[in-house]
Structure 1
Amino acid sequence: MRIVLTGATGFVGRELVPLLRKRGHQLLLVGRDPQKAAALFPAELTCGYPELAQQGSGYDMIVHLAVANSDAELDVTGFREANVQLLNDTLRAAREAGIARFINISSIHTLDDRKDTLYARTKREAVDVVGKANGIGAVTVFLPPVYGARWAGKLAVLNRLPRWLAQLAFKPLAALTPTVSVGVLADFITSEDAFSKPQLILSDGQSSNIFYRIVKRFIDLAFAVAVAVLLWWLLLAVWVLIRLQSPGPGIFAQTRVGQHGEEFTCYKFRTMKLGTVQAATNEVSASSVTRLGHFLRKTKIDELPQIWNIFRNEISLIGPRPCLPVQTLLIEERARRGVFTLKPGISGLAQVNGIDMSDPEKLARWDQRYLRLQSLTLDLKIALATATGRGQGDNVAREK
């Protein structure tokens, strides 16, 4: 492929250029200081932004890496010029050059609307610009910390260690925060389906991180043991109260869809009247919930029997909420996004952000976001948000 890269002198560019060149792609490096790029990569073609429209003719795509990072000493005008106006100008030059595809590289920090730094605000503006681009296929890719032969940012300390020791220390650090290999980015750039979605998150994920899996499982089991040992009296009391208040069993057992699409029996305290239809919670009438059930659902005490599912390794504290086999649309959306590679959870990223099963496509998108951003730090944030009252579970249907 013939690929134009802006901002190639930054860390990501320095890792990406040699890899793309090694794979046989022809590159044009564009920057405010073309001489700097030429000094770093003497074998590559370089030019400034004013020459892009002419020099870029005949190239297949632009990968826009140029950015003013969060540590740049700029005011709002400087950040907007670097992160918004430059992107706008590059898009315009790409259209003039007849380049059909544009990849905007952004950061996962811009996904959090609560981050109000000048960097985050201007990068979100840039995402909006790309989303409205006409006359060119455009996509924004959100990246966590990128690594290649070297590490940057908070992981840069690994560069001081012997290579073997750095590799050994990397897995525990990667369990704390999502990361992505420059190789994953290179694979995406040159893939056939790179422009199948207007936005996406790239990351390594945690499926191959044994440290993450061990720590997560240990935390799950520690929680389940603590509940069983310290709160057995509460479990017993709630079971008795449910039996006294309304006819039916104290424990509600229901078939759910778990990891790899396999069905399992999920256990919860019964919060609805006996004979309530087996359906998604948002499809069940509010009048079906018992008086005690409202309290149990609000305080999340109804979830405590799922410690048995944790012991059976069917569920985790944090993960996508398991759905019913009859929720076929949600199952299809999750399968398409790879969500079933994850173990389901008692609480999850979607739930603490107020998204329930009433919107299957939106829920699946947030489940996929968790898949890409999964880390011990994120799991802790979700657990704390759940404990402090966010994520009340699926809302029952309103009475008509």
Structure 2
Amino acid sequence: MNESHAPSFIVAGASGNLGRQLVPLLSASGARMLLVGRDKNKLREIFPHHEVAIYADIPWAAGQYEDLIFLATTNSDSDASYEQFERTNVALALEARNLAAAGGVKRFTYFSSVHALEHANQSHYARSKRAAEEALNNSPGIVTKIIYIPALLGKTYSGSLAVLNRTPTFLAKLLLPTLKALKPTVNVTAVSKELLTNSAFQSNQSVILATDQDTNLAYTFLKRCMDLLGAAAIVLLLWWLMIIVWIVIKVQSPGPGIFRQRRIGLNGKEFTCYKFRTMHLSAPNVATHEAPSSAVTPFGKILRRTKIDELPQVFNIFVNEMSFVGPRPCLPTQTELIEERRKRAVLTLKPGITGLAQVNDIDMSDPVRLAVCDERYLKLRSIIFDLKLMLMTVAGKGMNDKIGKAAK
């Protein structure tokens, strides 16, 4: 690589697990680096062939580098107080960015964790990472990228995969695909590639880096097994309820008990989605939020509120057109939402009966916000995350019926 065009980074906090694995990869790609930390001697010991400095040196050295990568952190397994987390994860990050801006650095990259995306996670670590994001986005300075990463895969493992560091190599290799299926992961090489394209970002942005679960056969197998077992359990346990609901619908209003509607599924292909009919036959064939509330039958209101109307979709699961968890399928006429999902690769997912957007009460009246949430699910999907979303749905999350929202 031509050195005059090589990426150039100031790397703060390189002595941690991520830094120890990332610096050699960046160096091998031809990147120029200045490693910054509180202890220069420690950095020299770990990286004897790299230039090192302390934070106070950043302004005079910054003019030679285009990006500052902030890796310094108080880790999630620390028993430190919140104030200690905040000093490193927030205050030190702001200080480093201000010093970099004073020296003319063009871009600042802050490493966060997917734990910070879970607002229910009130650990000191997650709270401090969210506080850092807010502080960085709300304070003036150089353009900033926030990168959210899950458990790290490399020569050593971090986060939920740290147990593999103490496992015999042959056994770790056998267990890894299943553990990756249970929780999201990212390979350190993917992190390196993301940083080497940093010159492309010219405004504040955030990125979730995670390994695509579609390449993990263990995830595909476990998710399909979970869908089939769940659908079979519903049929075996609730067949009587489905028969009663079908009879009541037929008695209460003229028309079929099962409602069939064309929806957009995997890879943008249409399929027939099944539900218990909750509306009069005269109801317009539009998205739920566009339908008038008067179109819903009295019994249909109960079915929609309890989500019992979704039960026939287990047959869509049996024929592999849907999953229990995924983006809710939209109508072919909802072209804006389809395009937003296509741009974000959301259409590569099977649609679901419930999903991340649904439990967060995000409906199809806001196509961009919905597609962004669907993309987040695409990045973070795992078996444990799917189970969590299913339990949240059963517990009543996302039960607000948006019927008539746009018609009022």
Q: What's the TM-score, normalizing by structure 1?
A: 0.96
Aligned 8 A contact 2:282 2:295 in 1? no
Please say which of residues 204-213 and 65-74 is displaced more in the overlay. Answer: 65-74
Query: What is the CA–CA distance in structure 2 between the aligned matches of 1:372 and 1:196, rounded to whole Å?
Result: 22
Q: Partner residue of 1:332?
A: 339
Distance 1:116 1:156, change over 3 A: closer
Query: What is the CA–CA distance in structure 1 between the aligned matches of 2:174 and 2:136, rounded to whole Å?
Result: 39
Query: What is the CA–CA distance in structure 2 between the aligned matches of 1:261 and 1:196, rounded to whole Å?
Result: 31
The alpha-carbon deviation at position 77 of structure 1 amounts to 2.9
Please say which of residues 20-29 and 109-118 is displaced more in the overlay. Answer: 109-118
Q: Partner residue of 1:185?
A: 191
Q: Partner residue of 2:328?
A: 321
Find 1:277's aligned residue among 271, 277, 284.
Answer: 284
Identity of aligned residues (%): 46
Query: What is the CA–CA distance in structure 1 between the aligned matches of 2:234 and 2:76, rounded to whole Å?
Result: 42
Aligned 8 A contact 2:10 2:65 in 1? yes
Indicate whether 1:39 and 2:56 are aligned: no
Aligned 8 A contact 1:205 1:373 in 2? no
The alpha-carbon deviation at position 73 of structure 1 amounts to 4.0
Query: What is the CA–CA distance in structure 1 between the aligned matches of 2:154 and 2:138, rounded to whole Å?
Result: 32
AA partner of residue 238 (structure 2)? L
Distance 1:119 1:227, change over 3 A: closer
Indicate whether 1:214 and 2:248 are aligned: no
Find 2:91's aligned residue among 85, 88, 99.
Answer: 85
Aligned 8 A contact 1:2 1:60 in 2? yes
Query: What is the CA–CA distance in structure 2 between the aligned matches of 1:317 and 1:71, rounded to whole Å?
Result: 33
SS in 2 for 1:385: helix
Aligned 8 A contact 1:131 1:198 in 2? no
The alpha-carbon deviation at position 113 of structure 1 amounts to 1.8
Query: What is the CA–CA distance in structure 1 between the aligned matches of 2:141 and 2:201, rounded to whole Å?
Result: 17
The alpha-carbon deviation at position 69 of structure 1 amounts to 1.7
Query: What is the CA–CA distance in structure 1 between the aligned matches of 2:400 and 2:349, rounded to whole Å?
Result: 19
Q: Deviations over 1:276-327 (max 9, x none)?
A: 1111100111111111111111111111111111111000011110111111
Aligned 8 A contact 2:150 2:159 in 1? no
Q: Deviations over 1:14-43 (max 9, x none)?
A: 110111111111111110112111111111
Q: Partner residue of 1:352?
A: 359
Q: Deviations over 1:58-106 (max 9, x none)?
A: 2111111111123334333322221111111111111111111111100
Q: Partner residue of 1:49?
A: 55
Query: What is the CA–CA distance in structure 2 between the aligned matches of 1:232 and 1:74, rounded to whole Å?
Result: 52
Structure 1 stretches (4+) deviating beyond 6 angstroms? none
The alpha-carbon deviation at position 193 of structure 1 amounts to 4.2
For structure 2, the 5+ residue unaligned runs are: 1-6
Aligned 8 A contact 1:28 1:56 in 2? no
Q: Deviations over 1:174-230 (max 9, x none)?
A: 111111111111111112545566112110031111111111111111122222333
Query: What is the CA–CA distance in structure 2 between the aligned matches of 1:21 and 1:204, rounded to whole Å?
Result: 23
Aligned pairs (5 A) from 1:184-263:
184-191=190-197, 193-194=200-201, 198-263=205-270
Find 2:82's aligned residue among 76, 87, 90.
Answer: 76
Distance 1:61 1:341, change over 3 A: same
Aligned pairs (5 A) from 1:64-143:
64-143=70-149
Aligned 8 A contact 2:305 2:401 in 1? no
Distance 1:37 1:388, change over 3 A: same
SS in 1 for 2:214: coil
Aligned 8 A contact 2:136 2:144 in 1? yes
Aligned pairs (5 A) from 1:21-40:
21-40=27-46
Distance 1:240 1:393, change over 3 A: same
Query: What is the CA–CA distance in structure 2 between the aligned matches of 1:34 and 1:271, rounded to whole Å?
Result: 68
For structure 1, the 5+ residue unaligned runs are: none
Query: What is the CA–CA distance in structure 2 between the aligned matches of 1:220 and 1:29, rounded to whole Å?
Result: 48
Query: What is the CA–CA distance in structure 1 between the aligned matches of 2:385 and 2:204, rounded to whole Å?
Result: 25
Query: What is the CA–CA distance in structure 2 between the aligned matches of 1:342 and 1:195, rounded to whole Å?
Result: 30
The alpha-carbon deviation at position 390 of structure 1 amounts to 1.2
Query: What is the CA–CA distance in structure 1 between the aligned matches of 2:262 and 2:334, rounded to whole Å?
Result: 12
Query: What is the CA–CA distance in structure 2 between the aligned matches of 1:200 and 1:280, rounded to whole Å?
Result: 31
Aligned 8 A contact 1:131 1:139 in 2? no
